[in-house]
Amino acid sequence: MKERFERLKTVRSLIKAHRIDSQETLLQLLQEAGYSVTQATLSRDLKYLKVGKVSDGHSGYYYTVPSDEERRESERHYIQDFLRGYVSIDWNTSLAVVRTFSGHSDTVALAIDNMGLEEVLGTISGRDNMVFIALREGSTGEDLVVAMKKKIPELELD
């Protein structure tokens, strides 16, 4: 995990320091910085960092990272979406299940995906009132709940 966080910091700083217009360019800069990653890993990193592309006004687009305030504001919205739909959470060794109010499973799954919880490998939204969370190897349901409580202090558990 430590290498991933260091790599994410490097990706962020590279995007801030350079006008990068493609993943190929970013992959090359990462390689020069000592990181060997695949394009798929870089895509996941960019999604995790909420990297976007903006027009340079003339010839194309380049990567940009949201400011800390923009990220905090976005996270507040996701937390509110989660709290509006959340009913309960339970887990076993590799899977957590969040029960939601009827019709809220998609919104709650999206909120979980966008909160950047390291314990979450991914989510699957049920048809109406259930979200399945695949836990990362080495993470437990207890770890997930602790991380969620850090992000969402007002989260009430059964």
Model confidence pLDDT, tens digit, residues 87-98: 999 999 889 999
Say what the pTM is. 0.65
Structure tokens at 153: 């202090």
- Whether residue 15 is found in the same domain as residue 38: yes
Would you state the torsion angle of the CA atoms of residues 2, 72, 25, 56, taken in this order, to the nearest 10 degrees? -170
- Whether residue 88 is found in the same domain as residue 115: yes
Model confidence pLDDT, tens digit, residues 120-135: 989 999 888 999 999 9
- Whether residue 93 is found in the same domain as residue 146: yes
Number of domains in the chain: 2
Within 8 A by CB and 6+ apart from 30, the residues are 7, 10, 11, 14, 36, 37, 42
- Whether residue 81 is found in the same domain as residue 144: yes
Q: Is residue 100 part of a domain?
A: yes
CATH for 135: 3.30.1360.40
- Whether residue 111 is found in the same domain as residue 93: yes
Residue 54 and residue 61 in contact, taking contact as beta carbons nearer than 8 Å: yes
**Which residue range forms the structural domain that includes residue 141?**
69-151
